[in-house]
Amino acid sequence: MDDIRIGLAGNPNVGKTTLFNQLTGLHQHVGNWPGKTVEKAEGFLNFNKHRINIVDLPGNYALSAHSIEEVVSRDFIVDESSNLIINVIDANNLERNLYLTIQMMELGTNLIIVINMNKFAKKREYYININELTKLLGVPVVEIEASDGTGEEKLLELVEKAVNNPVDSSKKLVYGKELGEHLQDLQKFIEEDKSLLNVPSSWTAIKLLENDDIIIEKVKNSRFSAKIFKELEKLQKHLNDVFGESSEEIIANYRYAFIDGLIKETVQKPEIEKITLTDRIDNIVINRILGIPIFIAILWTIFQITFIVGTPIQNLINHGFRILGEYILIIFGKTWFSSLIVDGIIGGVGGVLTFLPIIFLMFLMISILEDSGYLARAAFVMDKIMHKLVGLHGKAFIPMILGFGCTVPGIMATRTMEHERDRLLTMLIIPFMSCSARLPVYAFFVAGFFTIYQGEIILSLYLIGIIVAIIVAFLLKKSLFKGMTSPFVMELPSYKLPSVKGVLMHTWEKGYAFIKRAGTIILAASVIIWILSSLPIGVEYGAQESITGQIGTFIAPIFAPLGFGNWQSAVSLIFGVVSKEIVVATYGTLFGVVESGSGITATLHGLFTPLSAYAFMVFVLLYVPCFASIATVKQETNSWKWPLMMVVITTLTAYTISFIIYQGGILLGFG
């Protein structure tokens, strides 16, 4: 038999991913939609000699051109050679869920409707007449429980049937006489152009009435565009006169009117809604007084678990690699080969692996928060601050806070944000949150130059990072992200006990994706830096005569206006791109002092004044984050554009701020 290709569609939080995991098990692959930052999960299963390929579409409320996620889903339904769409619906929320269903029906999609979370709905005394619903919609409807696999067998049988006998689901859709007739007038004009008929003409007509940008563009290219738009304008004016509303509103009203009809016929609800557990929990969790303390407590817990548990494991891995390195040195002696293994490969692989504990732990936490429904509450509680300060969605708060621990999980956590532009902007400012790897650099310089005000100096660096992030976000919104509106509108899903399997699968997927995709970039970059630091043959690793050293010497004058125009600083900054911890180690090596004792302090005082040391720390705080962060942005956005943008923005920012601090300090007499 032929392969079957189906898409899973539905609102967010309806259990789509749970069903997808249930159906495909470990036969899945997570990637991105071509050229998009939107995640694409594909998988397959075998059923009755068919291979059923399943694509998990993004969770959407509608199929407008409103967001990239919606466009992705729509394109899949329209363009891709799929046999069938499975529409997952939450039994507790039929009305709003059906709004998406209706839009897929407008496209004439071959549909199966899967009603999920029935147990919970029955508890609330919602009863759905499945047979009646099947009849009224004209497409198969089946009840399942995604979390435990109930109804899966029946669903697969229906899939097989529906693939063999596709139905045009637009047939049962009725929009009342008034609108229906007008739509037909418009359809007549559309149907004259065959090239517009890869989708139902009625759908094109509806989308035109909804002022859908993409469809308008498409129709503009038609030979008959003038006629079509003339008719459209006439129709919009007419509808406006009759209803006193915009055509978009009228279409939405008709859709909901159709749904109301369906609900009346098929759903029985209690007279007075039962108070749900979710209502009770929300009374406490987003309470005026307790809301923020609870949020802080949860955030604190995530931090503790991620970094307090993760860091020792991280150190253990580091330690293991160090021992391994020492053994290799003993066995092979101090040759270029052992240097390649120790400095290049172990350094690189170690760099990747040391991130794993915190990435796994962080994703574990985030998955639990997201699946349980709390993440949306956190965004609700924190939105005002985020919106006021950086003009971002409340959901940006957690990723940014995680950035103080490590930029990499912070960037990965932006996945919880729905809108691409919000995500990108958040990713670009997370590096300014001073990550924990920068702390050793501060500690090193503070100990050398600011013995009295250690704490205050370090605190000031964190604050500079936050203030710069706010300013950069502001500037980006005025330039690169011009016209970006980030509406807050967000559903508060009901609380659920996250499933162990779901959370673990999610965590594993993310960790694995990091190793596979970011890992290769980090490794390659580390080896390149090694080669540059070891050539020409015979030089001491990273010495001034090495290529890295020569580059450092060459670019050093650029940093003169910032107060640290010496080649050692330039080289340590180059190494700092591999990872920030190395900055300090580099100084150690460069000065030929093994242990950082008084010797190194004296040498440092020859290179820096307190002012230039401070400017240097600010530069380290703000400039290019490590390769791992750059690789993560590449992995998350699926293009080199955004990581490069990040490199440029952070470098420019670091240079500007350090320049202001150093030159300003000199003017004020701190030189």
Partner 1 sequence: MEEKKNKSIKSLNELKNGEKGTIVSFNDKGNNELKRHLLGMGFVKGSEITFEKTAPLGDPIKLKLKGYSICIRKNEAENIKVQLVI
Ligand X SMILES: Nc1nc2c(ncn2[C@@H]2O[C@H](COP(=O)(O)OP(=O)(O)O)[C@@H](O)[C@H]2O)c(=O)[nH]1
* 221 contact partners, CB below 8 Å, separation of at least 6: none
The one-letter amino acid code at 204 reads T
Distance of CA 493 to the CA centre of its chain: 19
Q: Closest by alpha carbon to 186, among 229, 128, 250? A: 229
Q: Which stretch binds partner 1 (CB under 8 A): 93-101, 296-304, 361-369, 652-660?
A: 93-101
Q: Closest by alpha carbon to 476, among 243, 238, 649, 278? A: 649
How far is the C-alpha of 535 from the C-alpha of 421, rounded, in Å?
Answer: 43
Asked whether position 70 contacts ligand X by CB under 6 A, the answer is no
Q: Which residue has the tokens 């898409």?
A: 7
Asked whether position 96 contacts partner 1 by CB under 8 A, the answer is yes
Half-sphere exposure of 475 (CA within 13 A, CB side): 11
Whether residue 101 contacts residue 113, with contact meaning beta carbons closer than 8 Å, is answered with yes
Residues 17-56: x where in contact with ligand X by CB under 6 A, - otherwise, as a string:
xx--------------------------------------
Asked whether position 13 contacts ligand X by CB under 6 A, the answer is yes
Q: What residues does 53 pair with on adjacent strands?
A: 5, 44
The residue from 138, 149, 440, 498 that contacts ligand X (CB under 6 A) is: 498
Q: What residues does 116 pair with on adjacent strands?
A: 90
Asked whether position 284 contacts partner 1 by CB under 8 A, the answer is no
**Count, residues near partner 1 per rule CB under 8 A:** 43
Report the Cα–Cα distance between both ends of the chain, in Å, rounded: 79
Q: Which stretch binds partner 1 (CB under 8 A): 95-103, 222-230, 466-474, 514-522?
A: 95-103
Q: Which stretch binds ligand X (CB under 6 A): 139-147, 189-197, 239-247, 530-538?
A: 139-147
Asked whether position 147 contacts ligand X by CB under 6 A, the answer is yes
Asked whether position 146 contacts ligand X by CB under 6 A, the answer is yes
Whether residue 193 contacts residue 231, with contact meaning beta carbons closer than 8 Å, is answered with no
- Binds 108: which of ligand X, partner 1, none (CB < 5-8 Å by kind): none
How far is the C-alpha of 124 from the C-alpha of 276, rounded, in Å?
Answer: 8
- Binds 117: which of partner 1, ligand X, none (CB < 5-8 Å by kind): ligand X
The residue from 5, 393, 395, 496 that contacts ligand X (CB under 6 A) is: 496
The residue from 26, 35, 271, 289 that contacts partner 1 (CB under 8 A) is: 289
Query: Would you say 89 or 472 has its CB closer to ligand X?
Result: 89
The residue from 282, 371, 418, 509 that contacts ligand X (CB under 6 A) is: 371
Distance of CA 426 to the CA centre of its chain: 9
Whether residue 286 contacts residue 377, with contact meaning beta carbons closer than 8 Å, is answered with yes
Residues 392-431: x where in contact with partner 1 by CB under 8 A, - otherwise, as a string:
--x-------------------------------------
Residue 193 backbone class (left: φ over 0; alpha: ψ -120 to 50; beta: rest): beta
The residue from 17, 18, 21, 92 that contacts partner 1 (CB under 8 A) is: 92
Whether residue 412 contacts residue 356, with contact meaning beta carbons closer than 8 Å, is answered with no
Report residue 73: phi and psi, to 5°. -65, -45
How far is the C-alpha of 469 from the C-alpha of 463, rounded, in Å?
Answer: 10
Least Cβ distance, residue 284 to ligand X (angstroms): 20
Asked whether position 116 contacts ligand X by CB under 6 A, the answer is yes
Least Cβ distance, residue 370 to ligand X (angstroms): 7
Tell me which residues touch ligand X (CB under 6 A): 10, 12-18, 59, 116-117, 120, 145-147, 371, 496, 498-499, 502
Give the footprint of partner 1 on this chain (CB under 8 A).
Answer: 61-62, 64, 66, 92-96, 99, 210-211, 245-246, 248-249, 252-253, 256, 273, 278, 282, 286-289, 291-292, 380-381, 383-385, 387, 394, 485, 487-492, 494
